[in-house]
Amino acid sequence: MILHTDITGQGEPLVLIHGLFGSYENLGVIARALQPQFKLINLDLRNHGRSPRAEDMCYQQLAVDVFDTLDTLDIENFAVLGHSMGGKVAMQMALSQPTRIKKLILADISPVVNEPRHQRILKGLAAIDLALLTDRKHADSLLQPYVDELGVRQFLLKNLYKDANEQFQWRFNLQALVTNYEQLLAAPEATGPYLGETLFIKGGNSDYIQAAHQPQILALFPNASVKIIQGTGHWLHAEKPAAFTKIVSDFLLR
């Protein structure tokens, strides 16, 4: 599957991969900050954003999609940065074809099976009848009983758009996300470790990367280091973009 991409900047290629319910726009601030130094390939994963839809999605398929897309762009070797689910895609890529990945950056995610924590979000999204929706404010009121945090609702509702018939639609394939949710909680599959330089960036207030995960991290990524951005949660790149960008830039340029 060939994915939708947004390509900017010049220099060594850096692939950006968003998380669940996201799109290439989520990492736009990071892409713009890094443009003077890198060629940014910012993409939408399958069933997200403007990329094609499919019934199935597991990490092996998602990784192949990214490789196939980069092949059409004649990009052989590159660094990759993934946030959350996108970080697991990046891990799968590095573990599957390690010689193509120059450096690996993983934002607030570990190579472990995650606890399910999106059921209420999925239920809330499914409860919105798009045919009856009048505007985003209406959608927000329908989602509020399921999702308390205003910021999370705003993030999710960025995916609403009107089609050619002025009918509201989701940018993501909600049914595929529901059907494949268990697959997206899985750990990446590996036959051996990725020996390249790897950086985990943790949100100080987030529990997605835990001390208990260290054995799995070092088994798969023995050349890994960790940076913590204090005062941030899971969306650390959005909460402190300047700090996040500096850590990424320093790691890639050193």
Which residues are catalytically annotated?
Answer: 84, 234
Q: Is 229 helix (H, G, I), strand (E, B) or coil?
A: strand
User: 100 to each of 96, 166, 183, 185, 229, how far by Cα in Å?
Assistant: 9, 43, 25, 25, 28
User: 230 to each of 46, 151, 208, how far by Cα in Å?
Assistant: 32, 19, 14
The answer to whether 73 and 176 are in contact (CB under 8 A) is no
Spatial neighbors of 183 by CB under 8 A, at least 6 apart, are 57, 58, 59
The answer to whether 107 and 236 are in contact (CB under 8 A) is yes
Sign, CA torsion 93/10/38/8:
negative
Question: What's the rounded Cα separation, in Å, for the pair 174 and 75?
Answer: 31
Question: What's the rounded Cα separation, in Å, for the pair 210 and 213?
Answer: 5
Question: What's the rounded Cα separation, in Å, for the pair 62 and 203?
Answer: 25
Kindly tell me the burial class for residue 253, based on how many C-beta atoms sit within 10 Å of its own C-beta (0-12, 13-18, 19 or more). exposed
